[in-house]
Each structure stands twice: as C-alpha cells, then as structure tokens.
Amino acid sequence: MNQIDLAGQVAIVTGGAQGLGFAIAKRIVASGARVSLWDMDAKLLGEAVAELGDAARSAEVNITDAEAVADAHKATEAELGPVSIVVNSAGVAGANHTLDTYPLDEWRRVIDINLNGTFYVNRAAVPSMKERNYGRIVNIASIAGKEGNPNASAYSASKAGVIGLTKSLGKELAGHDIAVNAITPAAARTRIFDQMKQEHIDYMLSKIPRGRFLEVDEAANMVVWLVSKENSFTTASVFDLSGGRATY
C-alpha cells in the first residue's frame, strides 16, 4: 500500500459506517488523519469506530436534514478541529422500476438522499474551508450518472446531479486551494446490493469489461490521493472506477 500523508488533518465521511464509506475512512485513518463517521445506523457506527480506534469518532446524521448537517459539522470541528477533508459516500440505490411506473415517493427519497444530501454536506463544509483557504472534497457519484442504468432512473438522475454539482462547485472554488472532485464507480458488492433485484445486479456486471465488481479498497485507494495535498491542481473533475465500462 502506497503511503499518503494526511497527518494532522480531520475528515468527515458520510455513510462512513459501512461499504465504500468505511473502506475510505479506514484508508484515511491509516494515512494519519482523524475521521468523523456520519451515518444513520447507530449499531454499525459503534462497530466501525471500535475497529478504527482512537482516531475515529461518529455522529448519527440524517443528511437530508440541512440543519442537522450544519449542526453536525460544527460539532465535528469543535471536537476534532478544522475539517479539511469531506467524502460524501452516503447514498441509496432506490427501487428498480421503469420510469413510467416509478413510485413518486421513492423518486423523491432517492433524490433527497443522493443529491440533496450531498448538496447539504458540501454547503456546510465549504465556508470554513474558504476561511482557511484549504480543503479537499470528494463526492461519490456512479457510472450510472454518466451512462444511465435502465430501471434505475432516480438513481441515475441523482448521480448525474452529483457530477454536475461537483463540476460547478469545483469551478467556484478554483481560486482557493480547495479541490472538489467526484468518482464514478461501477457497482461494488456492498449492502446497497440488498436494495436491488438480481436481474439488475446481473445487468451491471455484464457491462463491466473487467468481468467483476469493484473492490471497496480500490475506491479507497483513489479517494485518499484525491483528498491529499498532492492533489494540488485537479478540481471539478470526474475520476472513473468502472472497470472499463465508461465511454467518456
């Protein structure tokens, strides 16, 4: 494992108690930073913090609540110090339906978590980063946000929105030493698969030229560089993790 130096920094990882978020948090801690895991699952948060040790803290946060997000950010800085790294990994797959039969409440839920939640977290984190003229933000999008997956219009649209948000914010902050980037992973075999039909899982696998799903540590390896000081120039960009699926 290549060593990335994040010593003395403080990170927030949403969805940090499980899946991609936990793998990223684990690699961030291994690189010397302290981390606050934000998640809604208290049991998993406890288990995650216990595994990561003294460098980790946790907060039960519903990212669809803008006020709660702002309060959690203030509490994290009060406890751990200035937050210089934010990784937005919290998200849901949503139900699989054709667009014309997609349940309206489910559409709103997916957009609220995946897109609005990412907006609220970015919005809370940016002011203090601007004050210190330093920060690194990575928003987890998806290959579905580039190409669109059939029977997953809500998820595809929400992740396309995350890509657009990232590009916009990255350009807004380009005059500061604040990098805002997104990654577009192919599916990884995490608990998000529990929300999907088997035929949808099979479809996603069939589209990956490498012939396998993403390993969570592979995502963590890319993210930890993106949130490091070594990433001093690239911003408003999208980094592919699709195993060859992406065509652009």
The CATH number of residue 166's host domain is: 3.40.50.720
Is 102 marked active-site? no
**Would you say residue 5 lies in a domain?**
no
Residue 248 lies in a domain: no
Torsion angle of C-alpha atoms 216, 221, 222, 224, degrees rounded to 10? 120
Pull the structure tokens for residue 238. Answer: 């999208």
pTM: 0.93
Q: Which amino acid is at 148?
A: G
Q: Which of 134, 155, 203, 248 is catalytic?
A: 155
Q: Is residue 64 part of a domain?
A: yes
Contact assessment for residue 160 and residue 213, using Cβ atoms and an 8 Å cutoff = no
Does residue 247 form part of some domain? no
- What is the tens place of the pLDDT at every residue in 135-174? 999 999 999 999 999 999 999 999 999 999 999 999 999 9
- With a pLDDT cut of 90, the percent of the chain lying above it is 83
Is 197 contained in some domain?
yes
Cβ 103 vs Cβ 95: under 8 Å? yes
Task: Identify the CA nearest to 92 among candidates 69, 72, 63.
Answer: 63
Tally of domains within the chain: 1
pLDDT at 143: 93
Q: Is residue 1 part of a domain?
A: no
Mean pLDDT of 77-103: 97
Classify residue 3: in a domain, yes or no. no
With 80 as the cut, is the pLDDT of residue 207 above it? Answer: no
Its domain, for residue 192, covers 10-241
Rounded Cα gap, residues 48 and 156, in angstroms: 29
Q: Is the residue at 59 inside a domain?
A: yes
pLDDT band at 193 (very low <50, low <70, confident <90, very high): low
